[in-house]
């Protein structure tokens, strides 16, 4: 009798667990979708800023070549920011598509 009752209880608990799992997956996909949007807009804004200030960056590179050696940090920081923002965007994008790297 106990095994019959236990099997019946297990069958009743399975759908609730799968619903919770599905809700968790939906929440994580929605979070990733919001992050894709935010980091995508941020990435576009960074490219627009790079385009608008391209002449200033060229002048900074010329000044670095002419002797102001501390200005080399500017392009390094710009590249680091681009790398981080675009990397997060790409990571969340592939998470939404549920594509994972082979381990």
Q: Over 70: is that where the pLDDT of 9 sits?
A: no
The pLDDT-based confidence of 8 (bands split at 50, 70, 90) is: low
Q: Over 90: is that where the pLDDT of 3 sits?
A: no
- Looking at the structure of the chain, the number of domains it has is 1
Residue numbers of the domain that contains 72: 2-96
pLDDT tens digits, residue range 77-96? Answer: 999 999 999 999 999 999 88
In a domain, 20, yes or no: yes
pLDDT tens digits, residue range 67-80? Answer: 888 898 998 999 99
Note the pTM of the prediction, 2 decimals.
0.72
User: CB count, 10 Å around CB of 39?
Assistant: 20
Q: Over 80: is that where the pLDDT of 28 sits?
A: yes
In a domain, 101, yes or no: no
In a domain, 78, yes or no: yes
Check: CB of residue 37 under 8 Å from CB of residue 26.
no
Among candidate residues 1, 82, 19, the one with its CA nearest the CA of residue 90: 82
In a domain, 102, yes or no: no
């Amino acid at each position: 009798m106990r095994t019959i009752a236990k099997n019946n209880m297990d069958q009743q608990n399975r759908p609730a667990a799968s619903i919770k799992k599905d809700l968790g997956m939906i929440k994580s996909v929605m979070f990733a979708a919001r992050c894709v949007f935010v980091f995508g807009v941020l990435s576009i804004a960074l490219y627009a800023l790079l385009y608008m200030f391209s002449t200033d960056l060229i002048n900074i590179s010329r000044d670095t070549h002419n002797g102001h050696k501390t200005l080399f940090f500017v392009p390094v920081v710009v590249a680091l920011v681009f790398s981080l923002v675009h990397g997060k965007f790409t990571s969340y994008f592939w998470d939404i598509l549920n594509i994972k790297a082979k381990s």
